[in-house]
Amino acid sequence: MRSESPGVLVVDDSPFIRRVVADVVRDDAGYTVLGEAADGAEAVRLVHALLPAVVTLDLEMPGLGGLDALGYIMSECPRPVVVLTGREDAAGEDLALRALELGAVDFVRKPSCDSALDLETLRRRLTQALHAALQGRADPPRRAPARPWRKTPGLTPLAAVTALPATRLIVIAASTGGPRTLTELLPSLPVMPDTAWVVVQHMPASFTGSFARRLNELGTMPVSEVVDGMPLVGAHIYVAPGGIHTIIDGRPGEARLRFSDAAAVHGVRPAADICLESASRSFGHALVTVVLTGMGRDGAAGARATRERGGCVVVQTPESCVVAGMPQAVLQLLEPDEVATPDALPDVLRALCAESPARARG
């Protein structure tokens, strides 16, 4: 093994999983295993001592658990962390999503047994996650502000604004680093009665429902996972489910969300490009496309379709991304209307939506 290969710290209370992960790190990913830890306290100590390029971190361990260890790592010695979870229930999904909010780059399911199929899936996903982590950056998370309407008993988001059939649409595309960025962004998004939001986040099917519920607890608008055929309503955020494409069907004011079982694009379903192509046909100049942090180039073709049909394109500044592949892919194709940090995005989107949707383009 080359001495210059990136070093990885493997953390798990199971000796079997540590051995499997270490084999993937060395044999599949081509990296160096700097050390192993069986609990969170030892993990924090070794992060300081070894300064690994990446940490693989089990979320459920005796003593100092994975979430607590992740908090210490991101506050004291930030670096890319890939978390592993073995639970397949709602609590396990919430745990993984919370880890992403705390700064983990990605999550990978541990095998439910030592079958060849489970182990092969682990090898493939962990290798992808390690490569993404090494392309990314690690920053301590910021705390999202609480929603003021939660303090008033009986008051719901829908009671706070009169929603209308959506005549304007904002589609947000995100991948690696997206869950954390979105949880920080949503509490500040402008609530516009005529504007619907669709989030296309690369995420396994079993997690998007929990992700939508988590976002619903954080933002100023109601958040729902997409159901086939549901109408697009303003002042509402829709999360595209994993494992299937979400498309927009119908003109502004009458549009509905539909599912498509077309093949994966860029290796992912849902793909932002599929959603954006249909959205640009339906909404034209009333569409705003936002491409956030992520690995790969999903969203670039959709941004081009948005521009060709008169809509607006906004990308996250590459330097503020966990992984900048998706915004950079857009920048290689066209000059967006705005390039903004997550902090600036709410004001940028508010200003764009305040402009005439029928503005002429050169």
Residue by residue, DSSP assigns 215-270 as HHTTSSS-EEE--TTPBPBSSEEEEPPTTSEEEEES-TTT-EEEEE-PPPBTTBSS
Residue type, 284: G
Active-site residue list:
175, 202, 298
Structure tokens at 321: 């991304």
Residue 238 forms beta bridges with which residues?
A: 198, 224
Residue 315 forms beta bridges with which residues?
A: 291, 339
User: Does 7-135 carry CATH code 1.10.260.40?
Assistant: no
User: Does 155-354 carry CATH code 3.40.50.180?
Assistant: yes
Structure tokens at 350: 């508010």
How far is Cα 104 from Cα 296, in angstroms, rounded to an integer? 18
CA dihedral sign of residues 168, 197, 328, 241: negative
Asked whether 61 and 13 are in contact (CB, 8 A), the reply is yes
Q: Give the domain ranges of the chain.
A: 7-135, 155-354
Structure tokens at 176: 């690696």
Q: Residue 54 phi/psi, 5° resolution?
A: -145, 150
Give the pLDDT of residue 142.
58
Could you check whether 7-135 and 155-354 share the same CATH topology?
A: yes
Give the pLDDT of residue 156.
42
Give the pLDDT of residue 358.
44
How far is Cα 289 from Cα 109, in angstroms, rounded to an integer? 31
Q: Which helix (H) or strand (E) holds 107?
A: strand 106-109
Give the pLDDT of residue 270.
97
- Please give the chain's pLDDT, 362 residues, in tens: 344 789 999 999 999 999 999 999 998 778 999 999 999 999 999 999 999 999 999 999 999 999 999 999 998 899 999 999 887 777 888 888 989 988 899 999 887 655 555 788 888 899 989 998 888 777 766 554 333 333 333 334 444 456 789 999 999 999 999 999 999 898 899 999 999 999 999 998 888 999 999 899 887 899 999 999 999 999 999 999 999 999 999 999 999 999 999 999 998 999 999 999 999 999 999 999 999 999 999 999 999 999 999 999 999 999 999 899 999 999 999 999 999 999 999 999 999 988 744 443 34
How far is Cα 60 from Cα 215, in angstroms, rounded to an integer? 23
Residue type, 268: V
Q: Could you give the dihedral angle defined by the CA atoms of residues 312, 189, 273 and 291, in that order, rounded to the nearest 10 degrees?
A: 80
Give the pLDDT of residue 29.
77
Cis amide prior to 141 (ω within 30 degrees): no
Residues 6+ positions from 119 with CB-CB distance below 8 Å:
20, 111
State whether residue 288 is helix, strand or coil: strand
Residue type, 262: A
Asked whether 215 and 223 are in contact (CB, 8 A), the reply is yes
Give the pLDDT of residue 248.
98
